[in-house]
Amino acid sequence: MDNNIYWLWFTNIKGLGYRRRRFLLETFLSPEAIFLLEDRVLLDFLESNRMGAAGLEEELKRSKQNLAAVERYHGGLLEQGIRTLSLEDPEYPRELREIHAPPHVLYLRGTWPKADLRVGIVGSRRSTQYGRQTARILGKELAKRGVCVVSGMAVGIDGEAHWGALEGGGETVAVLGSGVLECYPPSNRNLMERIIGQGAVLSEEPVHAKPVPGLFPKRNRIISGLCRGLVVVEAAHKSGSLITAHDALEQGRDVFAVPGRWNDAQSEGANRLIQAGAKMVLGVEDILEELGIGAGKQGENSEKIEKTLDEREKMVYSCMSLEPIFLDRILSITGLQIGDLMLCLMQLELKALVEALPNRYYVRCP
């Protein structure tokens, strides 16, 4: 019988939590060996090692009798394009296998990335435009360098990092705090389908598991565990992204953070990470250099852009950044007349270099 059947049986025994499963695997080595044990032997073994076996006897008996149903369930998963990767599977990510508490089974939709190097990008759901654009640029530039971008598919920073990777023509992996057949948030349905087509969506939870709060801290260790490095873009003082950063440090991963304004609550967590020793990210080159990847000619695009602009457009463009700037501020910096400035901004918009925002704000396009 396919080993995946035994793994699915083992990880879906009600009342047999992760700690007891790990203890049994360390002793008996495989779910198949555990399945072949007599129920009484298994229960006595747990009791004698103070692991507790209350309420398991009936569940063990019932689950073993229903192994054929587990086999049918596995077949149904395959028909829906869902694969299972167990700890024994050669395709199970090596980096994840080495963490303190690796998932015993992963459910996966899509194709596992070919890229050997993976970097996580996480951050606030209540992100600013600056944070979202930064995440998108980092995701795009890393993907163009052949780096797989890993995140959690949440609104805000996570979603933008995925979109950036997709725009960069690279691979991306979304680790869910729900089952892989549950899209959360529902507004990211299109993003989820794009990720499945250009990477993978995965979870350790049963495929129909709903996104409840307790599952998100659990999934954070998987995001960091899959990666060589983790980048935090905008995180409040008590953010889930800081839990992921803590997991990354415990797993021996490189931790990066994008700085923000000192008085911005959404950047307090990231700023404090830098204060505590995280690598400051001022551009994708900082990540590539730390991970030992050649940064290449990162300035080429800027040079090409500069050649397409006249002197006034260059002056206006140089005022712009990923943070919105008020029209009056641009007037003050450049000293241009309002008519000349509006003409320059219109030309920059037509060249897809600048975007006009509500209330007379402008921002540089990523």
CATH number of the domain that residue 137 is part of: 3.40.50.450
Q: Which position has the higher pLDDT, 119 or 42?
A: 119
Same-domain pairing of 149 and 232: yes
pTM for the complete prediction?
0.76
Question: Is the per-residue pLDDT at 296 higher than 50?
Answer: no
Same-domain pairing of 72 and 147: no
In whole angstroms, how large is the CA radius of gyration of the chain? 25
| Residue 102 lies inside a defined structural domain of this protein | no
Q: pLDDT digit string (tens) for 142-187?
A: 999 889 999 999 999 999 999 999 999 999 999 999 999 999 999 9
Same-domain pairing of 316 and 280: no
Same-domain pairing of 278 and 359: no
Same-domain pairing of 280 and 310: no
The total number of structural domains that make up the chain: 3
pLDDT band at 1 (very low <50, low <70, confident <90, very high): low
Tell me the range of 49-63, 171-185, 310-324, 335-349 where mean pLDDT is highest.
171-185
- Mean pLDDT, rounded, for 225-242: 87
Whether residue 271 contacts residue 259, with contact meaning beta carbons closer than 8 Å, is answered with yes
User: Which of 290, 308, 343 is the last residue before a domain boundary?
Assistant: 290
Same-domain pairing of 268 and 307: no
The confidence score (pLDDT) of residue 345 equals 92
Write the burial class of residue 130 (CB in 10 Å: 0-12 exposed, 13-18 middle, 19+ buried).
buried
| CA atoms 168, 106, 186, 125: torsion sign | negative
The confidence score (pLDDT) of residue 66 equals 82
Same-domain pairing of 34 and 123: no
| Residue 113 lies inside a defined structural domain of this protein | no
Domain that holds residue 167: 118-290
Question: Is the per-residue pLDDT at 259 higher than 80?
Answer: yes
Q: Which position has the higher pLDDT, 296 or 279?
A: 279
| Residue 207 lies inside a defined structural domain of this protein | yes
| Residue 101 lies inside a defined structural domain of this protein | no
User: Which of 52, 79, 106 is the last residue before a domain boundary?
Assistant: 79
Quote the Cα angle for 212-214-219, to 5°. Answer: 100
Whether residue 21 contacts residue 10, with contact meaning beta carbons closer than 8 Å, is answered with yes
Same-domain pairing of 126 and 270: yes
Percentage of the chain with pLDDT > 70? 93
- Mean pLDDT, rounded, for 199-204: 96
Same-domain pairing of 158 and 255: yes
The confidence score (pLDDT) of residue 214 equals 84
In whole angstroms, give the CA distance from residue 101 to residue 19.
9
Same-domain pairing of 141 and 170: yes
